[in-house]
Amino acid sequence: MNEALKTIVKFLEQSGLQQSARKLKEEIIMMKNEIDCEKQQQQMLMNIICQALEQKKKEKKKPVIDRQAVRRKPKVFTQEQTEQIMEKLMNRLVSKPNLLEDETLNEKIERYFDNATFQKMVDQADVFHDISNTSISNSILKKKRTETSEEQQQAPCFGKCNEYKIQESDQIVFGKIQQPQQHQKQQVLEKSPSVDELFTEEDVSRSAAKHQQFEGIDTAKMPSIIRPESGCNDSSFFLQNSQSFVLHDMEENKNIIDEYNDDDDPGFDLYEVGEKDFIKVAKQLADKFGFPQRAIAQLKKKKDEVNCDNEDDSAVLLKSQQKSQEESRKGYIYLPPSLKHPDSTDDFYPVEFDRVIYDCFNLKVIFDRERTGFEETKDFPIVINSIIAGRYQILEYLGSAAFSKAVKCLDLQSQKEVCMKIIENNKDYMDQSIDEIKLLRYINCNGDCDAKNVLRLYDFFYHKEHLFLVTELLKDNLYEFYKYYREKEKVNYFTVGRLQKLTKQILIALDYIHSLKLIHCDLKPENILMRSISKCECKVIDFGSSCFIHDHLSSYVQSRSYRAPEVIIGCKYDYKIDMWSLGCILAELWTGYVLFQNDTVQGLLARVIGIIGPFPENMMKEGRLVNQFFTKEKLLYQDAMEDQQQHYPNPDMSDASVKRKKTGLIQILVPKKSNLKARLKTDDMFFLDFVKQLLHIDPSKRPSAKDALYHPWFTQAQYPDGL
């Protein structure tokens, strides 16, 4: 097989089909890695089985016992004796149900299922409660097993809970994490990989009554399982208050109803009324569906608080940040002196005057010495194999965006393949692109673009009435990539493990950008490009909409489907809007559907309220645009338009660019109830909790890019194709 594939690769290379040959090589490497991974898993399982058999031979032979006599007078085992007999087997079955793939070992293990002691332990064990009265067979266990090896996965755990420890003998046992001496030891329930299928509310209450270590422990006050390393801000809200994987969260998820019919459900029920009946009908619908309570989350004060200055609400932190920003805007905000700035190559600039630092950069204007006048057309002609500015040969047309086109070129000077971005002949587009050049130079000079996963700028110039940007050549963007795999390959490339890899790279890029006091402002799948498919590497691009944190922040930023709630309703915003966009991107890559798909801003808000939950009260009071979307009862409304379906070919298209005609009727949108777990359709509690943290409506509760890197999804969860 390998020889045949190599022969095909050589044939493609000889035929001049270099791109096809390169893609085939990447597929061969990926196939080889998967085969090697399977072999390692099989070898590891064989080692465990051999050790188990050797250990069994060394044990003393037990005398033959009359089974009838045992049934008449059963032997009473203490808890300690029972654990010594069955602990290893039970833990192996919980954490490694794929051990049963071996038929020889399977026959031996099935003998234990009829053992009275084993059945007794099954009845008493919390993690086996749901299957204690059924026959345990391969068909049941295979539904619950994971496809990862022993060294590549850890079961999710609650708080500072018992976790799997892999000892030198490859025997998995439940071990207790040793806490520092100054803290009291806390123990919590052991959790199986398929926790949503095994845990019930009855299990939790029964286990809490049985284990004394749970008596008097308030799960809401359990410490976070995130362990910050050196350099992480220990006082951050996320690290101190993230209550990932606590029991009450799981109980809440089970009580939430999913009213969506399918993934294409708009997410709301629509009621169309006339202007005269609008107020009356809005009040009736609000009373029927529980508004404004469903749209507004009122701030709760702690019972033991006496002084109102100690309120632990989301508004305090946000207001303090906004106050400091307002004060700093009164004068020029100097960037930290530790940050670098590209050389201006000018004798006078940079110069400081009136609390402003003026700087410059040179823009090359490339022209034909023997010609003058305007070009024949405003559109730049793209002809394959033609040479631009005497240096760049066009090899391939890559695609187009709102105000630019991208082509693959060969730099005749360096003999490197590059990407050339051709800006449309428009004053506003050119101004925005000059901003992007300025920011790319600033980003490139402060760090390693490859290590920080950001785009590298090679060259820029003005030629034939167009601005050109020359950058490194990357592969497809995430949107095109996941669409191709789902439509052509019928598989999802973005497994949880690969998403873990990509997300960490994106977070590193965002942390770097934010450290430069920049907000990306347009993070979406189209603006994240694959750098290597086989290695699952990516880079963040398109800084044309980016801005400094101290800039006058525009009310229109981000593509609509990835727009943060605080931006939509007109609140002040900061770096956290990029984190919201990242949460939307992860959900889309995993499911193949836009999480907050919409035709209007009101439709987007309906899905946000239905899936994530209500807005904090302080955001509703602060938002400048709240009255444009919400009634007095906090129901969503919009003007009915004629032929509305034809006016939205692109969900992210600006409302201002679409001509619509009002019908005189008003539409009231009532959000359908759903939840993040139902939309993501996953039982991976690490991944689900991570996305949930990014999609907090309250920006002060969202983690920063730096804090998010310490989430258990990165520090504890392991996957065969992950980190």
Sort strands 416-423 and 404-411 into parallel, antiparallel or unpaired: antiparallel
The answer to whether residues 238 and 703 touch, using CB atoms and an 8 Å cutoff, is yes
Residue in 423, 418, 409, 496 with CA at minimum distance from that of residue 457: 418
- Per-residue three-class SS string for 521-578: CCCCHHHEEEEECCCCEEEECCCCCCEECCCCCCCCCCCHHHCCHHHHCCCCCCCHHH
Identify the DSSP state of 485: I
State the first-to-last Cα distance of the chain, in angstroms, to the nearest integer: 30
Burial profile 355-386: b = 16 or more Cβ within 10 angstroms, e = fewer: eeeeeeeeeeeeeeeeeeeeeeeeebeeeeee
522 counts as catalytic: yes
Q: Please state, in angstroms and rounded to a whole number, the distance separating the CA atoms of residues 461 and 375.
A: 17
- Per-residue three-class SS string for 12-34: HHHCCCHHHHHHHHHHHHHHHHH
The answer to whether residues 712 and 242 touch, using CB atoms and an 8 Å cutoff, is no
Which region holds residue 315: left if phi is over 0, alpha if psi is between -120 and 50, else beta? alpha
- Cβ neighbours of 649 (radius 10 Å): 8
Q: Which amino acid is at 688?
A: L
Residue with tokens 């996305």, as numbered in its chain: 691
Q: Cα dihedral angle (88, 92, 94, 96), rounded to 10 degrees?
A: 170
Residue in 720, 719, 718 with CA at minimum distance from that of residue 34: 720
**Residue 400 corresponds to which tokens in the numbers above?**
């187009």
Q: Please state, in angstroms and rounded to a whole number, the distance separating the CA atoms of residues 162 and 185.
A: 12
Please classify residue 56 by burial: count the beta carbons closer than 10 Å to its beta carbon, then call 0-12 exposed, 13-18 middle and 19+ buried. Answer: exposed
**Residue 410 corresponds to which tokens in the numbers above?**
């060969």
Long-range Cβ contacts of 647-652 (<8 Å, 24+ apart): 648/599, 648/600, 651/560, 651/561, 651/594, 651/597, 651/598, 651/599, 652/559, 652/560, 652/561
Q: Quickly list DSSP for 241-253.
A: H--TT-HHHHHHH
Give CA separation, 133 vs 120, 122, 124, 206, in Å. 11, 9, 12, 17
The answer to whether residues 380 and 466 touch, using CB atoms and an 8 Å cutoff, is yes
Q: Quickly list DSSP for 675-713.
A: -HHHHHT---HHHHHHHHHHT-SSGGGSPPHHHHTTSHH
Identify the DSSP state of 131: G
Q: Which of 522, 542, 689, 721 is catalytic?
A: 522
Q: Please state, in angstroms and rounded to a whole number, the distance separating the CA atoms of residues 79 and 117.
A: 11
Identify the DSSP state of 488: I
**Residue 623 corresponds to which tokens in the numbers above?**
């938002």
Q: Please state, in angstroms and rounded to a whole number, the distance separating the CA atoms of residues 162 and 187.
A: 7
Active-site residue list: 522
